[in-house]
Amino acid sequence: MSSSSLVYPTSITQLFVLNGNRFIAPVKLYQHRSKCQINRRGFAMRGIVAAGVSAGDSSLAIKPVQGVERLPFRPEGYNFWTWRGHRIHYVEQGDGFPIVLIHGFGASAFHWRYNIPELAKKYKVYALDLLGFGWSEKAIIEYDAMVWRDQVVDFLKEVVKEKAILVGNSLGGFTALASAAELPEQVSGIVLLNSAGRFRDPNADNTYNSEETALQKLIIKPVKDFIQRIVIGSLFLQAKKPARIVSVLKSVYVNTSNVDDYLVESITQPASDPNAKEVYYRLMTQLNVNLQKYTLDAVLSKLSCPILLLWGDLDPWTGADKAVRIREYYSNSSLVNLQAGHCPHDEVPELVNTALLDWLSSLNLQPSYQTL
């Protein structure tokens, strides 16, 4: 999910391009055949921090969605894989053609709690925690969007070992696109749920200059880093409060009945890691860099596989217009509009599961059972 949802902005509102709310029929499918800034402070304050948050009591309801099976919550996690020396958590269920679920900023594999059991009835489902999030290691590294791309690519090669469908929400959506562009031979399709990322602005200077002058290195950068640590550290203390987590979730869920103890605990539990604050700082200070370096059109131009857009049109961060623009840019795409917020897979899981399963069945997927 991502209450804080992508890691790119000069301002996170730019990344998600806030659009007016638009009501569309819950599951109306459109086929398309033509080619195809959120403020950093606001991001941090509203964000469900990637580094995790401190646990706390909650009076929220814990009843699951009626009629939809829910993944059991395991405080110890499910499965672990070692990637580049780091411990990575993932869930694996079912048999059949592989589906890989990728969460958004600040969330974890448990955010797919209502999707994994249903999809696993027909497919082999994986849901992994990106490095720095959830039950995966809070590694002290320089975080770049391509770190998660590389993680997913290696997960496909080393764990999945055959062609798969990538499904991503928010940051996970952009990660799915970047991973497919890097390893197209192992990705049969992509599903984006309110994906993060922005299109290149043709009227702006999109070049990224990483070179620093002597003045910048010796004086400006150290002072800037010192101030950033103070400010971001303060924001971290606010963003990690359980009450703040609940408030943010309710701001992006149109129907807040699924903002429950399970969801809050899946976000708060990783907070015990002593590296949480440092990971948060490193993620936040890379926002501008990532926004300048990586764009949606850059990765979409490298793809040819089918893409399904499952879009919560009432999302206050990534509105319906963004889905339309992706559909117009990328010819091999379909769009399902949902009356939901930023995390439709958890807010209206029954609709997302139905639309996703229908789309998957139309692809006539056959598992290869071979190591690629």
Per-residue confidence (pLDDT) for residue 228, from 0 to 100: 73
128-147 mean pLDDT:
95
Per-residue pLDDT tens digits for 247-271: 989 999 999 999 999 998 898 888 7
Q: Which of 199, 104, 193 is nearest to 148 (CA)?
A: 104
* pLDDT reported for residue 273: 82
Mean pLDDT of the chain: 80
pLDDT at res. 64: 67
Q: The whole model's pTM is what?
A: 0.79
Give the burial string for 52-75 (b: 16+ CB within 10 Å, else e): bbebeebebeeebbeeebbbeeee
Which amino acid makes up residue 352?
V
Residue-level pLDDT at 149: 97
Residue 129, Cα to own-chain centre: how many angstroms? 10
State pLDDT tens for residues 192-233.
Answer: 999 999 998 877 655 555 555 665 666 666 666 757 777 776
* Residue 155 pLDDT: 98
Which range (39-48, 109-118, 200-209, 346-355) has the least confidence?
39-48
What number of other Cβ atoms are within 10 A of residue 354's Cβ?
Answer: 15
Q: Specify the range with the lowest mean pLDDT, choosing from 79-83, 86-90, 225-229.
A: 225-229
CA gap 41, 38 in Å, rounded: 8
- Which strands, in side-by-side order, build the sheet including 79-83? 28-32, 333-338, 307-312, 187-193, 164-169, 98-102, 124-128, 86-93, 79-83
Q: Are 347 and 138 in contact (CB under 8 A)?
A: no
Res. 372 pLDDT band, cuts 50 70 90:
low
Residue 9, pLDDT > 70, answer: no
> In the 8-state DSSP scheme, what is residue 111?
G
Q: Which of 27-41, 51-65, 247-261, 333-347 has the lowest mean pLDDT?
A: 27-41
| Cα separations in angstroms, 183 against 93, 187, 282 | 23, 7, 27
Token pair of 360, please? Answer: 């998957």
Amino acid 79: pLDDT: 98
Cα–Cα distance measured from residue 38 to residue 44, given in angstroms and rounded to the nearest whole number: 10
pLDDT greater than 50 at residue 28: no
